[in-house]
Amino acid sequence: MSIERLKINSQKIQAVVNWFTLNNLTQIQSFIDFCNFYWSFIKNFSKIIHSMIQLIQKKIIFEWNEVCQTAFNHMKRCMTETFILRHFDQTCNFILEINSFNYINDEVLFQYNDEDVLH
């Protein structure tokens, strides 16, 4: 951790990089649950993970194919190569996103960096 940015512990990055190919429903659900924390930080998150989400739908035959493998690799790359968390900069404008469902609230504070990327 530094004043400019937060980043994932290198051991945790290595664990994501070395994540074995998913070969059953429980493994896919676990991976998707892990990825869900990052959804708001990864551009096109839902498009990237769509093929894996299709595999957890009812009445769908499990078939891990090249499209799923590509999405899996892309998602791992997104979570490990990009600095997605940053310290709050009081001098910059911010966006507060709030999602509510029943009794659960989810709040995320975003700011644009120098390259106009939302963090």
The model's pLDDT over 66-111, given as tens digits with 9 standing for 90+, comes to 999 999 999 998 888 755 566 777 788 888 877 776 666 767 777 7
What confidence category does residue 39 fall into, taking pLDDT thresholds of 50, 70 and 90? confident
Element (H, E) at 15: helix 10-17
pLDDT at 119 over 50: yes
CA distance readout (Å), 71 to 50, 53, 76, 78: 8, 11, 9, 10
What is residue 74's predicted lDDT score, i.e. its pLDDT?
93
Q: Which of 89, 97, 77 is nearest to 114 (CA)?
A: 89
Angle between helices 25-36 and 45-55 (to 10 degrees): 160
pTM: 0.65
